[in-house]
Structure 1
Amino acid sequence: MKKLKVKKRQFKIKLRKKILGDHAKGVIYDTENGMILAPIDDYTIGRHLGFKGGWNISEITELLEYINEDDTVYILGTHIGTLLIPIGKKCKTIIGYEANPDTYGYVSKNVLINDLDNASVFNYAVGDAEKKISFYKNTLNSGGSKIKPITDSYLYSHDNPDTIEVDMIRLDTHINTENLPKPDHIIIDIEGAEYFALQGMQDILKDVKMLYIEYVPHHLKNVSGVSNKDFIDLIVPHFDNVRFVGQKKEMDISTSSEDFLAYLDTLYANEKADDLLFTKSK
C-alpha cells in the first residue's frame, strides 16, 4: 500500500471522528450480513459496509452450499463477525476465535445485537501450542491484524500497528478442555498463521467435512516462513478434493497431490492469492 494512499485514509478517519465526536467508537450498519457494529477507525470494512451494504456476500453464499442446519461450524479469525453472523443463522452451532482483543469486543457485541444464541466466541489466537505470542493490532484494516511476521513488510506495518501479547491455543486441546462440539466445517482466515493453526488441529481435521482456508503467498512466506509443500502436507491427508474458489478450478487430490502442489507453486510465483475449499468424497 502506497504511503500517500495510507495518509489519505488516515485523514478521512480523522474527519470521520471529528464529525461523530471524540466519544464515538463504532458505527452500526444494517447489511446483508446482519446488523454489524464496526470500529470507526477501520476504513476498509466500514466504508464497504456503509456504501455497499454487505461484505463477502458471494463467499457466504458459496459456503452455505456446504452447511446445513444440523452442522457445527468453527471460524478461526472471526474479525467483527461478517461471516460468523450470517452463517450462524443457518447452522446448529457456531464457534469463533478472534485474537485481536478490540475486534473480539465487536464480534461479541454483534452476536448479541443479532440475537445469535447458538454462538460462542473466544479471544484467542489459534496455533500450534498454548503460549503467549506477539501480535500486530492494525487499525486502518483491523482484519489485517496478525501474529508478528517472521519477516516484516510495509504491507503489514503501514499503519504503525501496536504490537501486543495475546494468548494462543491448540484447537485439538481447546475442544477437549472446554468440552466443545467437534466441527463439521472449519473456516480459517488468520492472515498467515494458517500453517500454525493446522498443526494444532490434526486430530479433529480427520472428521471435518469441509475446510475453507485463505491462501496468500506473501503470508505463507513472511508470516509463517514455510513452503507450499509444508502447508499442504497438513491438509491433503484429510481430504479428497480441492476447489480454487477465485480461479473456479477443481482438483482430485485423493490419489496424488503433485498437480495440486504444482498449481499452488504457480500461484506462489505470481503472488496470486485465492481461497481454497477442501472436501471429502461422499
Structure 2
Amino acid sequence: MSKKIKYSFLKFKSSLRKKLLGKYAIGVIYETKNGNITAPIDDLAVGKKLGHKGEYDMSEVNTIKDFIKPTDTLYVIGVHWGTLLIPLSKYCKNVVGYEANPKTFYFLETNVLINKIDNVKLFNNAAGDSSRKVKFYTSNINSGGSKIKPEIDKLMYTFDNPDVIEVDMISVDEHVSTNNLPEAQGIIMDIEGAEYYALKGMTKTLETSGFLYVEYVPHHLENVSNTSNEAFFDLIIPYFSAVKFMDDKSKVFNLNTDKESFLSYVNVLKEKGKSDNLLFTK
C-alpha cells in the first residue's frame, strides 16, 4: 500500500468516527492502565491503542519509575494527554509538564483533573532555545505527531491537513528561573524533532537531572530541526555518563569511553530509518 493510499484511508476512518459520534462530540474517555484518559475522537494513533489495548507505553512507565525517588521533581517536555505523566506522578513529589498544542492541552488538563492529580504544574508552551513565536502544526489523526513547522516539509507531517498556528516557545532554563520552579531530577522529552532546540535552552536543567529519557527519530532531526546526529547528541553527552537503548536493551554505552561507538550505532539506525527511545543516566 502506498503512503498516499494509507493516509487517505486513515483520513476516511477518522472522519467516519466523527460522523458516527455526532458533530457535537469532541472526545472520548478511555479507562486504561495509564489512568482515565480523555482524547479527541479523530485520533487514530495513541487513541486507537488506548481503546483496543487499554494502555499506552506502560513498559516505558515501568522503566522510568525505577529512576524516580519520592522527593524528585520530574519534567515532562511534550506531555501530550498525560499517558506517561499521570502514572509517573505517583512516584515523585512534583511534575512540571510542557505541551505546545493548545488542542492537546485542553485534554491534558482534563485528564489531570479527572485523575485527581494534585502535584502537577502544566504550561501550554513549546520548549526551545529562546522565548519567541513559532509556527506549529496541530495534527488531528495522530495528535501526538503535532510539531513545530519542519525546516523540510514532508507529506507524513501534513497528510491530515493540520492547522498551522503560532505558539509561544520558551527556554526551559529561563522559564524555570522566572517562575521559581523546582529543579529537575529527571526529564522525559518527546517533542517530534524540536528536541534539538529544547536542549539548547536547558543546559542548567540537564545539569541537575539524574536522567534524560528522550525519543530519537532520524527523520525528525533531519527534517524538523535540520540537524545531524552528532550536533544533537553533543548537547546531551556532556551531562551523562551512560546511555541505554529501549528497543534493544543489550545496547548500552559508557559515554566516557565509548562515545564514538555510540555515535556509530545511532548513525547505523539513521541509515536504516529506525527510531528508538534512549535513556541517559549520570
Residue matched to 2:147? 146
- AA aligned to 1:15 is L
CA RMSD of aligned residues (A): 1.1
The equivalent of 2:176 in structure 1 is: 175
Q: Deviations over 1:115-154 (max 9, x none)?
A: 0000111000000000000111100000000000000111
Equivalent position of 1:114 in the other structure: 115
Structure 1 SS opposite 2:208:
coil
* Distance in 1 (alpha carbons) for counterparts of 2:4 and 2:50: 24
By how many angstroms is 1:247 displaced? 1.5
Contact 2:212-2:281 at 8 Å conserved across structures? yes
Could you say which residue in structure 2 is the equivalent of 1:220? 221
- SS of the residue aligned with 1:276? strand
1:91-240 paired onto structure 2 within 5 Å: 91-240=92-241
Which amino acid in 1 is paired with 2:135?
S
- Following TM superposition, by how much is the alpha carbon of 1:8 offset from its aligned partner in structure 2, in angstroms? 2.0
CA offsets per residue over residues 184-207 of structure 1, 9 Å max, x none?
000000000001000000112112
Task: Find the aligned partners of 2:14 and 2:245 in 1 and give their Cα distance.
Answer: 35
- In the alignment, structure 1 segments of 5+ residues that lack a partner are none
Counterpart position of 2:252: 250
Task: Show the counterpart of 1:261.
Answer: 263
CA distance 1:250–1:256, change in 2 (3 Å): closer
Match of residue 42 from structure 1? 43
Q: Give the letter aligned to residue 160 of structure 1.
A: N
Q: Distance in 1 between matches of 2:227 and 2:19?
A: 44
Question: Match of 1:82?
Answer: 83
For 2:240 and 2:262, the matched residues in 1 are separated by: 12
Q: Which residue of 2 aligns with 1:273?
A: 275
- Counterparts of 2:105 and 2:14 in 1: how far apart (Å)? 21
CA distance in 1, matches of 2:15, 2:199: 39
Counterpart amino acid of residue 205 in structure 2:
I
Cα deviations by residue, 1:177-227 (Å, 9 ceiling, x for unpaired): 000001100000000000100000011211210000001111111111111
What is the distance in 2 between the residues matched to 1:263 and 1:240? Answer: 17
Amino acid at match of 1:150: E
Shift, 1:256, TM fit: 4.7
How many Å apart are 1:15 and its aligned residue? 2.3
Instruction: Tell me, in whole angstroms, the C-alpha distance in 1 between the residues paired with 2:3 and 2:18.
Output: 23
Paired amino acid for 2:139: N
CA distance in 1, matches of 2:84, 2:42: 20
Return the letter of the residue paired with 1:257.
K
Q: Which range moves more in the overlay, 40-49 or 30-39?
A: 40-49
- Offset of 1:12 from its aligned partner? 2.1
Deviations 1:55-97 (A, max 9, x none): 0111111111111221110000001111111111221111100
Task: Indicate the residue corresponding to 1:9 in structure 2.
Answer: 10
Corresponding residue SS for 1:254: coil
| Residue equivalent to 2:58 | 57
> Identity of aligned pairs, percent?
52
For 1:224 and 1:13, locate their aligned partners in 2 and report how far apart those are by CA, in whole Å: 29
Q: For the Cα contact (< 8 Å) 2:253–2:259, is it kept in 1?
A: no
Structure 2 residue identity aligned to 1:209: G
CA distance in 2, matches of 1:12, 1:269: 32
Aligned-residue offset at 1:3: 2.0
Q: 2: distance between equivalents of 1:19 and 1:160? A: 21
Q: Distance in 2 between matches of 1:12 and 1:215?
A: 29
Secondary structure of the equivalent of 2:209?
coil
